Amino acid sequence: MQKLDPRLLAALEAVVRHGSFNSAARELGYTAPAVSQQIAELERRTGLRVLERRPVRPTPAGEVLLGAEQGVRSVLAAASAELDAIRAGTAGQIRLGAFASAATGIVPKALAQLHRAYPDVQVSLSQLEPEAGYSRLKRGDMDLALTYDYDFIPMPPPRTLRRTLVARDPVVAVVPAGHHLADRDVIDLADLAAETWIAAPEAALRLELLAQIAQTPGFRARLQYDGDDFNTVLGFVAAGLCVAVMPKLALPPGATEVVARPLADPQLTRFIYAVRIDTRHTPRALLALEQMLTAQALAAVS
């Protein structure tokens, strides 16, 4: 097999990620025929087909090459981060990612602190869920991300990334203000099994998992919502249509139409992490932002 060219691997990664030669070409600054020629050259050098064209998806050989491309990109991203740290780390840009409730409940005050301490550092924010954050960190498209997992659904971080626990965010039961359980100090999941729940796959905990944890059948979802916005979930609960569980951080301050109560045993926890590329040297401003995000996360869930 002839020597592989990282530029050809990058073309393959872009085509697979976009699912389109045209979109990949726009991102890479080439024409679509040029990208097609790069894929053809990669197949010539490997002697193997690397892409299925309709629909666009990698072959087993393509999957191997995508892994190699990710490794090259991760090494280069780590080297770039270390060089930034050696240069100074008190100016430049930080690309931050955060899931929705962290973007509203943690990030703003931390960025205000950072601006006062490092006025020459510019921060861009992308709102995304953990898996997308890990992917962008590995590609070198992000410097720091706030991610999460749950104690009963652990999600280990990819290799080459350093993940630091910044806060434990308790999961609470949320019921309408006039609900018959609203005056309790704690709510047992089993007592909510027969209630109508809102099913929000990207935002709330899945009902089948709650049934397993509560060791009680009967959890039902009469309302369907396909999204990742806890505000929508709260809107349904406030209207008296359903109940839900959600992390404490997702609750808006001063809400009066819903009541949030701690769960009785088993208590559930969402763990919030700060994640960055694992390097020997890290820019001072990036470390400072990580510490500020940690302080704000602890304050938000206390």
Tens of pLDDT along 213-238? Answer: 888 888 887 777 777 678 888 999 99
Measured between alpha carbons, how far is 115 from 120 in angstroms, rounded to an integer?
8
CB 140 within 8 A of CB 73: yes
Residue 269 phi/psi, 5-degree rounding, is -135, 140
Residue 86 sits in the same domain as residue 204: no
280 lies in a domain?
yes
Assess contact for 166 and 294: CB atoms under 8 A.
Answer: yes
What pLDDT score was predicted for residue 107? 97
Provide the CATH number for the domain around residue 25: 1.10.10.10
Residues 20 and 93 reside in one and the same domain: no
User: Is 70 exceeded by the pLDDT of residue 85?
Assistant: no
User: How many domains does the structure of the chain reveal?
Assistant: 3
CATH code of the domain containing 249: 3.40.190.10
Q: Are residues 109 and 249 in the same domain?
A: no
The verdict on 126 and 158 lying in the same domain is yes
- What single string gives the DSSP state of each residue in 78-139? HHHHHHHHHH-SSSEEEEEEE-HHHHHHTHHHHHHHHHHH-TTEEEEEEE--HHHHHHHHHH
Domain membership of residue 60 (yes or no) is: yes
In a domain? residue 1: no
pLDDT higher than 90, residue 169:
yes
Task: Give residue 261's domain range.
Answer: 169-269
pLDDT above 90 as % of the chain? 44
Cβ-based neighbours of 254, under 8 Å, separated by 6 or more: none
Question: Is the domain of 79 the same as that of 66?
Answer: no
Q: pTM to 2 decimals?
A: 0.73
pLDDT value of position 300: 93
CB-CB neighbours of 130 under 10 Å: 18
> Do 86 and 131 lie in a common domain?
yes
104 in any annotated domain: yes
- Answer yes or no: do 187 and 263 share one domain: yes
List the structure tokens of 99: 């899931």
User: What is the residue-averaged pLDDT of the chain?
Assistant: 88
Q: What is the reported pLDDT for 90? A: 64
- pLDDT tens digits for 224-279? 777 767 888 899 999 999 999 999 999 887 778 999 999 997 789 999 999 998 88
DSSP 201: T
Residue 67: burial class (beta carbons within 10 Å; 0-12, 13-18, 19+): exposed
CA atoms within 13 A on the CB side of 113: 17
How many residues belong to the chain? Answer: 302
Confidence class of residue 91 from pLDDT cuts 50, 70 and 90?
A: low
- 48 with 87, same domain: the answer is no
> How many angstroms separate the CA atoms of 128 and 95, rounded?
12
Same domain, 215 and 294: no
158 and 84 within one domain: yes
Examine residue 254 and state whether it is found in any structural domain, yes or no.
yes
- Tell me the pLDDT tens digit for each residue of 99-117: 999 999 999 999 999 999 9
Max alpha carbon distance in the chain (Å)? 71
